[in-house]
Amino acid sequence: MEPTGQRGRGRGIRGGAAAGVRAGQQPDWKPTGNGQGDAAGGAPATNVPAVATAPRNGAAGGGGGDARANQQVGRGALRASRYLPEVVVTRAPNAPSKQGVRGKQIVLKTNYFRLTRAENMCVFQYRIDFDPLIENVGLVCALIKTQAPVLGPYIFEGTMLFLYNKLRSEELELQVRDPRTEHLYKMKIRHAGTVDMQSTMGLMILNLMQRQAMNSLQLLVMNRHHFDPKAKISIPQYNLELYPGYITSIRQHEKDVLLCVELTHRVLRTDTVYKMLNDQRNVPGSYKENFKRTIIGSVVMCTYNSKSYKITDVDFNTTPSSSFSKKDGGSITFMQYFKDTYNVTIRDPMQPMLVSTPTMRMQRSGITTPILLVPELCRMTGITDAMRKDFNLMRSIADHTRIGADLRLERLDQFNRRLQETTACREVFNFWKTELDRRVVELPARILDSEIVMMSKEVPVGFEADWNNAFRNNQMFKSISLKRWFLVCEASKQSMVQEFITTMMKVAPPMGFQLAKPEIATVPNDSPQAYAQVLQQLVNRDPQLIMCVVSNDRADRYSAIKKKCCVDRAVPTQVIKARTIGNPRSLMTVATKVVIQLNCKLGGVPWVTRNPMKDIVILGYDVCHDARDKSKSYGAVTATMFGTDPQDPRQFSTVEHHDKGEELSNFMSATVAKVLRAYQREFGPDRLPRRFLVYRDGVGDGQLKQVVDHEVKAIKARLDAAYVDYQPHKPQLCVIVVSKRINSRLFFNGRNPPTGTVVDDVITLPERTDFFLVSQSTRQGTVSPTSYNIIFNEMGLTTDQLQTYTYRQTLMYYNWCGGVGVPAVCQYAHKLAFLVSQYIHQQPNEQLEKCLYYL
């Protein structure tokens, strides 16, 4: 079938608790020599200033928390957004209730625990500075710990020290000694303000408190999440290690402060990047180019600080023996720096340095220059594309990481017991006057009424949202005859292909699909050039569709096929692997699914759901980064349009590329204009839709404000301009942000909830009109709900109506006879953006925009 997309500061501990510390980051550096470390000037190979980030002794001033009268925050305040997403209020003060009433009432368990805090609790905030300046945050934490008798229990983060007890003076200067070197430092402590624990900053302190408690469990911190090295799972045959861990966050929900705990796993490879570098020296060709192709885009973990970085380049002109300038003006080599700071000896002084561009999170915290890493000190993480193709390897990983609902609940209880029964953890909670419930949160939920999909007859969806067998007795809702088409394959596979064609022609008539026998064209070999040459001849014969049977999922071949038929010409294509049609036992099932796809690509409609609204456009948006040029992205918009007949959907899609940092609101505004023109082409030049429903996918919490303040306004402005002279009606816009990658989990009687389950209370957020929806089923593991945040709504629909309509949209994805995790238009947009960004790298032919050619 067609390929699918596989959509630092230091932290201190309270005095007397476990002494876990985290190492700092790389230093600021300026090249002062070549790879040999001499004083001659030498420029790095990167096209950006090769500067690594320094371990800041915390964040400089800046506001944090709520602007409450009884909260004073001075210089050195910490950004709460480091631990809490920015609160963007999208719910009007006098908005009607967001809780629906439709459906069967049930009670669910969640992966949340309730936290209760002492009322009127106040925390004192101080700023710490050292003279001389200390770049090693681990040393900073160790020095602060020596003063625990003076400070009492504390939380340290960045340059901020949070104390429950106020110090005897506003400013305090202490002399502290490095136990390793006997070097003396001045530690200056200044009162910066007080923190109201009911404020946003108070929630941040609760998150720090939770992390402090988890540090007492002797867990390993990797990228702000905690992993249990004692529970490490080794898969030696694949040189892999799995670290089970926890993702935690504390946030104010509807009525209570809740701790969310999600179980996770980190995949680490036992080999280092240095080993990979040496392996590439034995591969024919330029080892430098081979190594860059292999490592760029990978995520590595540094062994000295357990932090992960995504590699964006390799600097072969800089080595560990190169020198850089320190903040105090002195010069030091990387080798000496790592020896002094981390007590790490680098064995190969001539290896190149890895380059990592700071993430947006890092840039917001002040790290704007590239980070340099030593291959010898980096472990590979994650799994490669080649590994993903290894069925046995993926099954070995899934056996350990795919956790069922019952086992997940059991492990959540075990985690809670560890926190409750570990003395150091219990001391943390007791001191900060916080109590953690022993049981997971239970909440009310509803199962929406069972839906139907309409083919030639109505087919009940059921609570598993699965109608795979429905096409045995039903025809597709609307079929387009396929009379003129070609099938391209290698000559050696003609016998297999003929059997598949026979099977397709057997299953097509009962599905209401008229399928003529194709003309078979053979290629001399399976190279991209061979397929491109044959396709060039076939597209000139004006086919309705071309199917290509290929030997494997080789990317350059797939790219050549799609470019020829989706860019140079406008011919829908179906690419299928020979292995997929080589198993006689599954041939009927495969043929049925392929027939559905062929019908879609021609403009047919396999099924529809009940749609009570006419004159409506449902629009989905997603974006993917270009596989070849990470500075470029492709945004895809797909739209399902209805005119006066609410059971006659029309499709539209468009793709635009935009460079990194480019304002997306401009793209969204221009796309809305394209959709309106497409609507008029379909339903008449004098018609415009009454309702415009936008499902916006791919929005992180840090981007929500941008979407609310700019994208929604741009869409609204474009609609208002288009309807200025339109008399029948004005546009009614609704924008819903769709979030699939969330940590919330739901459980019903120890199992996954049935499809159609809605949650709109307890774990939702008070500043939003939001709900969770379970729209897909799974037989293995734990199902993930999807979060929907209604950020703009002038359609006049009730909560029940929007929830039900959204659920129906998840049943309209034609690549799957069942419910999917997001509305179909979002899944279509992802498929289109993935195709363009990974394979064709340019805008498709506009003549294809009316059909689902990207399935």
Q: Can you give the residue ranges of every domain in the chain? A: 271-386, 479-602, 610-848
Fold category of 610-848 in CATH:
Nucleotidyltransferase; domain 5 (3.30.420)
Residue 809: predicted pLDDT: 98
Q: Is 830 a catalytic residue?
A: yes
Count other Cβ atoms within 10 Å, centred on residue 378. Answer: 25
Q: Report pLDDT digits (tens) over 693-702.
A: 999 998 877 8
Amino acid identity, residue 228?
Answer: D
Per-residue pLDDT at 84 exceeds 80: no
Q: Report pLDDT digits (tens) over 263-318.
A: 999 998 888 999 999 988 888 878 899 899 889 989 999 988 888 899 999 999 99
Average pLDDT of the chain is 86
pLDDT, mean of residues 490-514: 96
Q: Is 697 a catalytic residue?
A: yes
pLDDT, mean of residues 807-822: 96
- Find the catalytic residue in 399, 663, 720, 767: 663
Per-residue pLDDT at 57 exceeds 50: no
Residue 699: predicted pLDDT: 87
Q: Is 663 a catalytic residue?
A: yes
| Cα separation, 831 vs 837, whole angstroms | 10
Greater model confidence, 659 or 5: 659
Q: Report pLDDT digits (tens) over 392-434.
A: 899 889 989 999 999 999 999 999 999 999 999 999 999 888 9
Residue 72: predicted pLDDT: 36
Count other Cβ atoms within 10 Å, centred on residue 107. Answer: 10
Q: Report pLDDT digits (tens) over 179-189.
A: 878 889 999 99
Residue 674: predicted pLDDT: 95
| Cα separation, 459 vs 451, whole angstroms | 9
Per-residue pLDDT at 703 exceeds 70: yes
Does the global pTM surpass 0.75? yes
Residue 794: predicted pLDDT: 94
pLDDT, mean of residues 797-807: 95
Residue 387: predicted pLDDT: 85
Highest mean predicted confidence (pLDDT) among 15-24, 388-397, 757-766: 757-766
Task: Kindly state which CATH superfamily the domain 479-602 is placed in.
Answer: Response regulator (3.40.50.2300)
Across 40-54, 144-158, 805-819, least confident range: 40-54
Fold category of 271-386 in CATH:
paz domain (2.170.260)
- Find the catalytic residue in 526, 760, 830, 849: 830
Burial bucket for residue 398 (CB in 10 Å: 0-12, 13-18, 19+): exposed
When pLDDT is cut at 50, 70 and 90, the band that residue 707 belongs to is very high
Burial bucket for residue 47 (CB in 10 Å: 0-12, 13-18, 19+): exposed
Nearest alpha carbon to residue 474 among 357, 592, 381: 592
pLDDT, mean of residues 779-786: 92
- Find the catalytic residue in 697, 711, 760, 761: 697
Nearest alpha carbon to residue 564 among 523, 602, 532, 541: 532
| DSSP H stretches of helix in 375-512 | 385-388, 391-401, 405-421, 423-431, 494-507
Q: Report pLDDT digits (tens) over 522-577.
A: 999 999 999 999 999 999 999 999 999 999 989 999 999 999 999 999 999 999 99
- Find the catalytic residue in 622, 656, 711, 849: 622
| Cα separation, 3 vs 385, whole angstroms | 12
Q: Report pLDDT digits (tens) over 527-538.
A: 999 999 999 999
Q: Is 622 a catalytic residue?
A: yes
Residue 218: predicted pLDDT: 87
Q: Report pLDDT digits (tens) over 470-487.
A: 998 899 999 999 999 999
Q: Report pLDDT digits (tens) over 655-685.
A: 998 877 666 777 888 899 999 999 999 999 9
When pLDDT is cut at 50, 70 and 90, the band that residue 463 belongs to is confident
Across 228-242, 624-638, 777-791, least confident range: 624-638
